[in-house]
Amino acid sequence: MIRIFLAFFVLLSNVIFSQNKLNLIPYPQNVAFNDGVFMIPDVLKLSNDLPQNETEYFKKRMTSGLKFQSSKRADAQLVYSQLPKAPAGKEESYILTVSPKQIHIQSYTQQGYFLALQTLIQLFEEYKGAQKIPALKIEDQPKFAWRGMHLDVCRHFFTVDEVKQYIDYLAMYKLNTFHWHLTDDQGWRIEIKKYPKLTQIGSKRKESMIGAYVDNTFDGKPYGPYFYTQEQIREVIQYAQDRHITIVPEIEMPGHALAALSAYPELACTKGPFEAATKWGVFDDVFCPKDETFTFLENVLDEVIRLFPSQYIHIGGDECPKTRWKECAHCQELIRKNNLKDEHGLQSYFIQRIEKYVNSKGRKIIGWDEILEGGLAPNAAVMSWTGVNGGIEAAKSKHFAVMTPGAYCYFDHYQGDPQSEPNAFGGFTPLDKVYSYNPVPAELNAEQAKYILGVQANLWTEYILDFKQVQYMIFPRLMALSEVGWGTSDPKNYKEFENRVINQFKVLDKMKVNYAKSIYNISGKVVPSGSGIAYELSTSQNSDGIRYTLDGTVPTIDSKTYQNPVTIPGSLTIKSAYFEDGQLKSAVSTQQFIVSKSTGKSISLEQQPSENYSFGGAFTLVDGIIGNVKQLGKTWLGFQGKDVVATIDLGQKTGFSEVYFNTLENKGSWIHLAKSAQIFVSDDNKNFKMIKEIGKEEISNAKGKIRLNVGSQNARYFKIKIENAGIIPAGNPGADSKAWLFVDEIGIN
């Protein structure tokens, strides 16, 4: 009878295991459940022929109290077999077989063995409470060869130990590339022995910008000197290699060079003096393409290449204003002498000269997608950040590309409601948006798609003051990136992934990681409702726990229970929160609505906003929400180099006499007030009559907060054209680049 019961229990356990998806991130390519379970022992017997380095890592990572004992292979519970030489693309593949008596890992390389151990660690963490792991077979390999995370240590610096922790996070979730951003306008962070002033002078700044950019305030505190010695860099490289992670160093050129110019001003087009930037943004002073500059950069790259064994050296190449080059006699002569078209051609000349040198050292360059300007260097790879077009262009011309578009992969963006999140750069990139990303653009055919190396997320640190905030910004979004890079993400089943993320929080808690809990908070979305709007509330938890108020008071357990989208009948403030077992479990979310005659009406745009600033699409302009000037996430639409031309269908002829809208000015971030605005009305959506026009001076005097008396009007269709400032003029950050235009609500009363 007892044996029958035990057999039934084992059978029942197998059914339960097989019906539940494993709580693994990234999820493996293939999982097959078998009969039986592996009972987790107090002491795990390890075969004495296991790869030593990776096995020692495994033993240190296991925090469940499990002990280990070396054993002969015949008696071991964890054994490893190395497969014959790996076919191309199989270097990271592995097979993990769990049987009732043994765990067997097979791989072509020790890297594959290491990745299998990451899966095994998660299995032990998941099933330690049950003391048994289901018998199974996992056959697994990543889809993409480049699965990366970037860290900017220039705006704010992080210690060697903190960088090592960052690398550990990448290893946990099977990322294999660490992009180390080491130089920028605000600080030079790598010791170069031939040029000691780079760290003596360039590694510090007199103060730092604090708060939101529009506040234009500074802390008045000297920052630095902060940099890594070459010995420390070797230590970090070895640490990463032990975890099978490649470090790609970035040395910015020709722009983002102020810290270097503060130490060696003779490398600029003008005499200076210069200092490391105290503000964030883009600056006109860049490296001058003269022989002494190239000698300097080649010497710097010599030391970098000796330190870093990576195939690729990142040379930046982004956001390089051409103002100084236009005014520089040497640069203009160089353009003429080399038959270059213009300053963009000069940038291509600069990058190609650097590439030729790097290639002569047996390495390759990779740069941000602006290196496409004027023509791509022959062997360069592109890191596509401004969108996907850079990667598409590179792949179609048979250049490798890493996809890292800001709309999906910039982890300095807000990940929850900006009103309840720490100050961030801008944008709105929640967990589900990261998870939805497909690194292979639909525009590429199968052959062209082979040039997409993979995917990377970037963490710029203008607003990240310490490592706790680093943790907050990357977790849990790093988990979504991990599964996207592995190639097993499925946006249709996002909720299932979200449940696995929440399960992983137990591990992060044990590691004392300060991860974001934004998915627990209330997320609000404005939706059309009849001729008006409604507010849709959601949380990762049971929506029955959501309570809300419409009078601006803080919700309690006795407040209204959320069931359906809340109709917004007029201007009001809604507050919402999540309760569990009678206790408040989330932050209180607040949203103010200003309802006008255009709120909730049908709207169309002639040109679409940038992906980075497109949340909600055109409807964002009639959703009743006025954008916060300090938070560019979620409530603003951003257009680079484009006009806003919006047509609103009021549904029937409607009387009105006032029009309002807001634009922003933040020149350090290339955001400029509109140049002009024109307002039109129509009864048939074909023949429009202009009823009001304002110019730059009037917009500037109003500081972008436009309220216009348009007289007594009565029309069904309303059109507004808000003209972009166009090309940024000389003397401004980003000169010669396309200006950004930000617009929020378009209201009619």
List residues bridging with 603 in a β-sheet: 648
Continuous H helices in 594-723 = 696-701
- Report yes or no: 511 and 533 within 8 Å, Cβ to Cβ: no
Element (H, E) at 81: strand 78-82
Query: Which residues of the chain are under the pLDDT cut of 70?
Result: 1-20, 63-64
* Active-site residue, from 244, 256, 344, 399: 256
Per-residue pLDDT tens over the stretch 342-370: 999 999 999 999 999 999 999 999 999 98
**Which residues neighbour 320 within 8 Å (Cβ) at sequence distance 6 or greater?**
254, 255, 256, 286, 347, 370
- Compute the half-sphere exposure of residue 423: CA atoms within 13 Å on the CB side of its CA: 14
Could you give the CA distance from residue 199 to residue 419 in angstroms, rounded to a whole number?
Answer: 38
Q: Distance of CA 13 to CAs 38, 126, 130, 132, Å?
A: 12, 15, 11, 10
Q: Which tokens go with 94?
A: 């592995």
Per-residue pLDDT tens over the stretch 111-164: 999 999 999 999 999 998 889 999 999 999 999 999 999 999 999 999 999 999
Active site residue 104: no
Active site residue 256: yes
- Report yes or no: 452 and 403 within 8 Å, Cβ to Cβ: yes
Domain spanning 602-748: which superfamily? Galactose-binding domain-like (2.60.120.260)
**Which residues neighbour 501 within 8 Å (Cβ) at sequence distance 6 or greater?**
25, 431, 476, 479, 480, 519
* Active-site residue, from 125, 184, 355, 745: 184
Classified as helix, coil or strand, 476 is: coil
Domain spanning 2-140: which superfamily? Chitobiase/beta-hexosaminidase domain 2-like (3.30.379.10)
Q: Which tokens go with 315?
A: 């040379």
Q: What is the torsion angle, in degrees rounded to the nearest 10, for the CA atoms of residue 649, residue 654, residue 655 and residue 656?
A: -20
Mean pLDDT of the chain: 93
Q: Distance of CA 592 to CAs 305, 341, 363, 623, 748, Å?
A: 54, 52, 54, 11, 17
**Which residues neighbour 495 within 8 Å (Cβ) at sequence distance 6 or greater?**
none
- Taking phi first (over 0 means left), then psi (-120 to 50 degrees means alpha), and beta for anything else, what does residue 106 get? beta
List residues bridging with 44 in a β-sheet: 68
- Report yes or no: 203 and 187 within 8 Å, Cβ to Cβ: yes
Predicted TM-score of the model (pTM)? 0.93
* Active-site residue, from 185, 303, 319, 736: 319
Q: Tell which residue, 168, 161, 120, 113, has the closest CA to residue 141.
A: 113
pLDDT of amino acid 13? 45
Q: Does domain 146-518 have CATH number 3.40.50.1370?
A: no
Strands 146-152 and 452-457: parallel
User: CB atoms < 10 A from the CB of 339, how many?
Assistant: 7
